[in-house]
Structure 1
Amino acid sequence: MFLVCGEALWDLFAIEGAGEGAGLSFDARVGGSPFNVAVGLARLEQGVALFTGLSTDRLGERLTAALEREGVGTSALVRTANPSTISLVDLGADGSPRYAFYGEGAADRALTLSDLPTPGPETWGLHAGSYSLVVEPVGSTLLALFERERGRRLLTLDPNVRLTIEPEIGVWLARLESFLACADVVKVSDEDLGLLHPGRTIDEIAADWRAKGAALVVVTRGAQGAVAFGPAGRIEAPGRRVEVIDTVGAGDTFQAALIAGLAERGATARAAVEALGADDVSALLDFAVRAAAVTCSRRGADLPRRAELASPAPRTEDR
C-alpha cells in the first residue's frame, strides 16, 4: 500500500463559445496533482490510499465517489465543511496548461497535526507534492508526517511549483529544503528547476539534492524524456513520439509510474532503491516516460492503465 498526500480539487477547462456574444463554458474534471498520482497508482494496479481534506459539499462528495470508483483507499480522507478548491485551466497552443486556483480556506488546505494518519505495516511508502507543500496549515502538517516517517518508509516528493498560489520562490525553497532532508526519491520537472534555481544546470542541482539526502533524483524534460541521478550514475531515457492533445497530468502520470515501477522491482525501501543498477533505472525511466506519453495523447489528466503499457511505445529517434 502506498499513501499519497496532498490536494484534491476540480479542474475547470474553459471552452470558448462560438459566434458573436457567446460566453465561456467549462468542462469540469476531478484533479489535483496528488489526487492524480493516487488515481494513477490505482490504474497501474498498485494498492494506494489518499490523505487529503475533502469538503462535505457536493463537489467533495463527487471527489470521494471518483476515488472509490478508481479503487483508491479513502480511509485517510478528512471530511470538513470547508469548500472544495477549484482550478481554472486555460490551455496554450502547445497543449500546456495555465492554472488559476481558487482555494483560500478550502478543505484540502485545512489539514492539521491532529489529522495525521497512522499508516499500518502494509504501507511501504508515502508521496507528497505540489502546493500542499507550501500553503498552511497543510504544508507544516505534511512536513511533520515526512519527518515522522523518515527512515521507516520510502518517501517520494514532487515540488510541482505553482507560483499562482505561492508566488515567492523563497517560500518554495525554504520548504523544499526541509522536505529534501526526508525524501528518498525526488521527481522534478526541468521547468520547475528553472524557477527554483535559474542559471544552474540540472546536474548541479541533482548533485546538491542528493547531498541533502535524496537517494534518487529524476528530472523530467518533456519531449526530451527524463534523466535520473543516483548510485548507478547519470542515466537518460529519450522521449516518446505522440500526438499531443494537452500535457495536463503528464507529470503526475510520470510520478505514479515511477512509484509503480519501483514497486514492481521490489524497490520499496531506500536500500533497495540505492541498489538499483543502471539497467533497472533505465527501464524504470522508460516505463514512466511511456506512461506520461499516453496521458499527453488524451484530454486532461486521463492516466493510463497497466495493460496499456504492456508494449513499448516508439522512441523519439524513431521518427
Structure 2
Amino acid sequence: MTSPHFVVIGECVADVVRTDGAPDTVHPGGSPANVAYGLARLGLPTALLTQLGDDPYGGLIRAHLESAGVAVLAGPAEGLRTPSAVVRLDGEGRARYTFDIGWTLPAGELPHLPGHLHIGSIAAVTEPGAASVLALVEHWRGRAGVSYDPNVRPALLGGRDEAVRRVERCVGLSDLVKASDEDLAWLYPGRDPEDVARHWLGLGPATVAVTLGPDGAFAVTADGRRSEVPARPVEVADTVGAGDAFTAALLHARHTGAGLDEALTRAAAAAALTVSRPGANPPDAAELAAALEAPASTPN
C-alpha cells in the first residue's frame, strides 16, 4: 500500500455487546482502531500501531481493519490476550463499558514516515504502554501533525487529578483535540465545556472540538474562531463508535482542506450514520457524500 499518511497509535478492543433478551454480539472496537478504520473507509492511507493477541478476537479485529485497507502494525503476540469490553446498551442505545484490557506497547520506531499521528483513549494514558506512545509523539511532533481524543474511561483512570494531568499532557502535544461533553464533565466536574475547550487551547492545540450528543458539536481555535453544528436527526440503533466516526471524518475533512464549518458538518454526518446502525460501523466516502447531499429529515 501507499506509505500511510495517517498513523494511529492505540488499542484494539473486542466489544461484546449485551442487551437484555438477546444473544451477545461481538464487534471489532477500541477508539483508536475505530478511528483508523474510519480514516481508511474514507480513502486515506492509514496504519494502526497496536497490540493484538493470537486468539479469535485478535483475528476478528485484524480481518476487520485490513478489510478497509488499514495496515496493522502489531508487535509479537506471544503471551498477549486481545482486550475486550462488555458493552451494555440502555433503552436509548447509549453504551456503558466494562473492560478487560492491558496496554504494554514496547518502545520502538515507526516503519513509515507519518504525515499525521493520532492518539487517544486508553493507550495514551495507561502505563506501561503510554510512555511508548508519548515518546513517539514527542519524536515526530513538529514534523507530523498530531491529534488526540481522550475518550475517557473512568473505570481505568484511577484518581481524577492524575487523569487530568495525563490528559492535559496529551492535549499539550497535539495540534487538534476532540472530546465529548461527557469526557469533560468527568475530568472537570461543573465546568462549562467551552470554558474547558478554551483552557485546552492555552495548553497548545490550534483547534479543540467538542461533541455534545443530541445538541451537536462546536469547535474553537487558537486564532479566535468558533464554529458549531447541530446534530443531524437520526433514529439511534446504538452510540458505539459515534465519537470515533466524528473524529475520523473531522481529520479527513481538515486533511482535504475543508474549513472548520465544513469539517464539523462532515463529522456530524459521519456520526449520525454510525449511530443509525449497530456497532462501530463508520461510513465510507460514498455513503458520507450521499448523506451530505441528502436533505436532513426527522426520524420516525
Q: Same fold (TM over 0.5)?
A: yes
Tell me the TM-score normalized by structure 1.
0.87
Match of 2:205 in 1: 214
Match of 1:91 in 2: 89
Aligned residue identity for 2:281: D
2:104 is aligned, of 110, 133, 146, to: 110
Aligned residue identity for 1:70: A
Match of 2:177 in 1: 186
CA positional deviation for 1:232: 5.1
**CA separation in 1, counterparts of 2:262 and 2:219?**
11
Report Cα offsets for 1:169-221 as digits up to 9, x if no partner: 22321111211221000000011111111122122212211111000000011
Report Cα offsets for 1:229-275 as digits up to 9, x if no partner: 0125111111101011111100000000011111211xxxxxxxxxx
Specify the SS of the correspondent of 2:278.
coil
Specify the SS of the correspondent of 2:281.
coil
Report Cα offsets for 1:275-318 as digits up to 9, x if no partner: x8xxx111110000001000010011111111012142545899
Q: Does 1:131 align with 2:110?
A: no
Match of 2:20 in 1: 16
CA positional deviation for 1:25: 3.3
Specify the SS of the correspondent of 1:34.
helix
For structure 2, the 5+ residue unaligned runs are none
Would you say the 8 A contact 2:234–2:299 is kept in 1? no
Q: Does 1:245 align with 2:224?
A: no
Q: Does 1:289 align with 2:268?
A: yes
Alignment: residue pair count: 292
1:259 is aligned, of 251, 257, 262, to: 251
Give the 3 Å change call, closer, same or farther, for CA 314–238 of structure 1 in structure 2: farther
Aligned residue identity for 2:116: G
**CA separation in 2, counterparts of 1:55 and 1:73?**
16
Specify the SS of the correspondent of 1:54.
coil
Specify the SS of the correspondent of 2:177.
strand
CA positional deviation for 1:91: 0.2
**CA separation in 2, counterparts of 1:317 and 1:87?**
33
2:74 is aligned, of 72, 77, 94, to: 77
Would you say the 8 A contact 2:238–2:276 is kept in 1? yes
Match of 2:133 in 1: 142
Report Cα offsets for 1:56-98 as digits up to 9, x if no partner: 2232233222222121012x22132211111001001111100
Would you say the 8 A contact 1:183–1:213 is kept in 2? yes
Residue correspondence of structure 1 range 268-307 to structure 2 within 5 A = 280-307=259-286
Specify the SS of the correspondent of 1:293.
helix
CA positional deviation for 1:16: 3.4
**CA separation in 2, counterparts of 1:186 and 1:223?**
20
Aligned residue identity for 2:6: F
**CA separation in 2, counterparts of 1:197 and 1:118?**
38
**CA separation in 2, counterparts of 1:261 and 1:232?**
20
Give the 3 Å change call, closer, same or farther, for CA 232–208 of structure 1 in structure 2: closer
Match of 1:273 in 2: none
The CA RMSD measured in Å over matched residues stands at: 1.9
Specify the SS of the correspondent of 1:10.
strand
Q: Does 1:59 align with 2:38?
A: no
**CA separation in 1, counterparts of 2:37 and 2:205?**
25
Would you say the 8 A contact 1:38–1:49 is kept in 2? yes
**CA separation in 1, counterparts of 2:89 and 2:46?**
30
- Superposed structure 1 runs of 4+ greater than 6 Å apart: 316-319
Match of 1:7 in 2: 11
2:99 is aligned, of 85, 90, 101, to: 101
**CA separation in 1, counterparts of 2:287 and 2:163?**
35
**CA separation in 2, counterparts of 1:97 and 1:86?**
14
Aligned residue identity for 2:124: L
For structure 1, the 5+ residue unaligned runs are 18-23, 266-275
Greater Rg by CA = 1
What is the percentage of aligned positions where both structures have the same residue? 39
